[in-house]
Amino acid sequence: MKISKIQALEVLDSRGNPTVQTTIWAGEIKATASVPSGASTGVHEALELRDGDKKRYNGKGVLKACKNVETKIFAAIKGMDVSHQEKIDNTMLELDGTENKSKLGANAILSVSMAAARLAAKCQKLELYEYLAQAYGYTPKLTSKPLFNVINGGAHAVSSGLDVQEFFIIPQSGKFSEKLRMGAEVYHCLKKLLDAKGLATGVGDEGGFAPTLGSNEAAFKYLIEAIKNAGYVFGKDFKLGTDAAASEFFDKKKSLYILKADKKSYNSSQIYKMYKAWLDKYHLELIEDGCAEDDIVGWKFLTQELGHKAVLVGDDLFVTNLVRLQMGVTQKIANSILIKVNQIGTLTETLSAIKFAQKNKYKVVVSHRSAETNDDFIADLSVAVNADYIKMGSLSRGERMAKYNRLLEIENLL
């Protein structure tokens, strides 16, 4: 079970940009993991190390990060027991020594952290979700509700003109395989509907459609129609949700949320009113990043006004960071946290954020990034920690299906 060899490879993610894929060996046994990447990244996220060499991949190469894995990191963790996750992660944190992992790169560190966990599971002949559940004191459960992001806007589909980044359909009951089927049926009805109206049905970064709709609200109307066309009852079989990703349309200088598609703007003490109107009209179950990452005033209004009737998720707000989450709990803002392993960069830190959230009754949403690989680690993670929700994209694109198909396998195993 001792780490004997490491290799890191520059591979491409689903947006066609380089990312780090690391393989770790313990004797003859090996395991591989690759790292996702965001587009609407929070300013408080750990740093993704990019080469900056404009002659390669527009400066986005990750050869330095790969080198860090094979040299500095390997030298520090060689010979360690692969199941000593905390020790491996803490060794890398010490070696890096910076607040935001800028020396080694969060991409370098995370690839090792994930591959180590996968290798430990393999060595113990356990499924990854079983291993993680055992290691962190859970009983594996696949009860999370999927947030299917079937209309993409914002930074994930700039040509759509939508300010809001993600529009979710949320199936309300049935086991995972049934929820997946329901989601896929609505997805296909949505495609038909858009086709019939002569709207674009090419997909955005997360596999949702990216039509030019003219207003953010229009997206909800299409979702409701598609749900009905698929034979489901809106409000009972499906509810809706959104990731506004509001940091992206918050003008810091003017201190205003500017929604271009709606020709409207709001300040921090008003923005909740827009969501309240949407919530009442469209049965919103969940709103992610309704306010910008550092707009604590906006978050307070939002939480006071809507926190009792909607799941309010902090993504850019918390960045899977225990210290940011502690601040949120103290300030009583949001009531849920988005969990993205690469925002923080190690499995150990990810788990401490999850545990703290659960202890404080914040809901947990295990999430992908807008650029992914076929790595399905987060499927196992969500089952291991009994996530309340999962966010793994729409019902198309291979890198999203990899996660859903893994969940189908896990459902079968469970």
In the complex with ligand 2PG, the residue whose CB is nearer, 131 or 148, is 148
Q: Which residue, 133 or 385, has its beta carbon nearer to ligand 2PG?
A: 385
H/E stretch holding 356 reads: helix 347-359
Q: Is 121:131 a contact under the CB 8 Å cutoff?
A: yes
Kindly tell me the burial class for residue 330, based on how many C-beta atoms sit within 10 Å of its own C-beta (0-12, 13-18, 19 or more).
Answer: exposed
Of the listed pieces 196-204, 249-257, 356-364, 367-375, which binds ligand 2PG according to CB under 6 A? 367-375
Contact 40, 65 (CB under 8 A): no
Contact window for ligand 2PG (CB under 6 A) among 5-13, 33-41, 103-111, 134-142? 33-41
CA atoms within 13 A on the CB side of 186: 30
Contact call for residue 39 and ligand 2PG (CB under 6 A) = yes
Q: Which stretch binds ligand 2PG (CB under 6 A): 6-14, 47-55, 110-118, 364-372?
A: 364-372
How remote is the C-alpha of 116 from its chain's centroid? 21
Told to check if 243 binds Mg ion by CB under 5 A, we report yes
Q: Supply the minimum distance, in Å, between the C-beta of residue 49 and ligand 2PG.
A: 17
Q: Which of 310, 307, 314, 178 is nearest to 246 (CA)?
A: 314
What's the one-letter identity of residue 158? V
Closest distance to Mg ion from the beta carbon of 289 (Å) = 5
Give the whole-angstrom CA distance, residue 96 versus residue 360: 30
**Alpha-carbon span 68 to 66, nearest angstrom:** 5
Residue 209 neighbours by CB distance under 10 Å: 27
Give the separation between CA 124 and CA 109, rounded to whole angstroms: 23
Nearer to Mg ion, 92 or 310 (CB): 310
# chain residues binding Mg ion, by CB under 5 A: 3
Taking the complex as a whole, the smallest distance from the CB of residue 45 to ligand 2PG amounts, in Å, to 9
Q: Crossing angle of helices 106-123/377-384, nearest 10°?
A: 70
Do residues 269 and 297 lie in contact, with contact meaning Cβ atoms separated by under 8 Å? yes
Considering the complex, state which of residue 6 and residue 392 has its C-beta at the smaller distance from ligand 2PG: 392
Among 60, 191, 340, 391, the active-site one is 340
Q: Which is nearer to Mg ion, 45 or 289 (CB)?
A: 289
Name 264's Cβ contacts closer than 8 Å, sequence gap at least 6: 274
Given a contact cutoff of 8 angstroms between Cβ atoms, the answer to whether 22 and 70 are in contact is no
- 293 touching Mg ion, by CB under 5 A: no
Binding of residue 205 to Mg ion (CB under 5 A):
no
Residue 130 vs 315, nearer CB to Mg ion: 315
* Cβ neighbours, 10 Å, residue 138: 18
Among 44, 118, 239, 369, binds ligand 2PG (CB under 6 A): 369
Known catalytic membership, residue 372: no
Can you list the alpha helix ranges (DSSP code H) found in 35-175?
A: 63-68, 74-77, 85-96, 106-123, 128-136
Least separation in angstroms between CB 335 and Mg ion: 16
Q: In the window 123-162, what residues touch ligand 2PG (CB under 6 A)?
A: none
Binding partner of residue 285 among Mg ion, ligand 2PG, none, CB cut-off 5 to 8 Å per kind:
none
Q: Which of 18, 38, 61, 314 binds ligand 2PG (CB under 6 A)?
A: 38
- If one asks whether residue 315 binds Mg ion (CB under 5 A), the answer comes out as yes
Q: Please give the Cα distance from 80 to 105 (Å, whole number).
A: 21
Residue 370 binding target from ligand 2PG, Mg ion, none, CB below 5 to 8 Å by type? ligand 2PG
Residue 237 contact, options ligand 2PG, Mg ion, none, Cβ 5-8 Å cut-off depending on partner type: none
Q: Clarify whether 206 is annotated catalytic.
A: yes
Count interface residues toward ligand 2PG (CB under 6 A): 13
Q: Which chain residues interact with ligand 2PG by CB under 6 A?
A: 38-41, 166, 206, 243, 245, 315, 338, 367, 369-370
Catalytic residue annotation: 206, 340
Q: Which chain residues interact with Mg ion by CB under 5 A?
A: 243, 289, 315
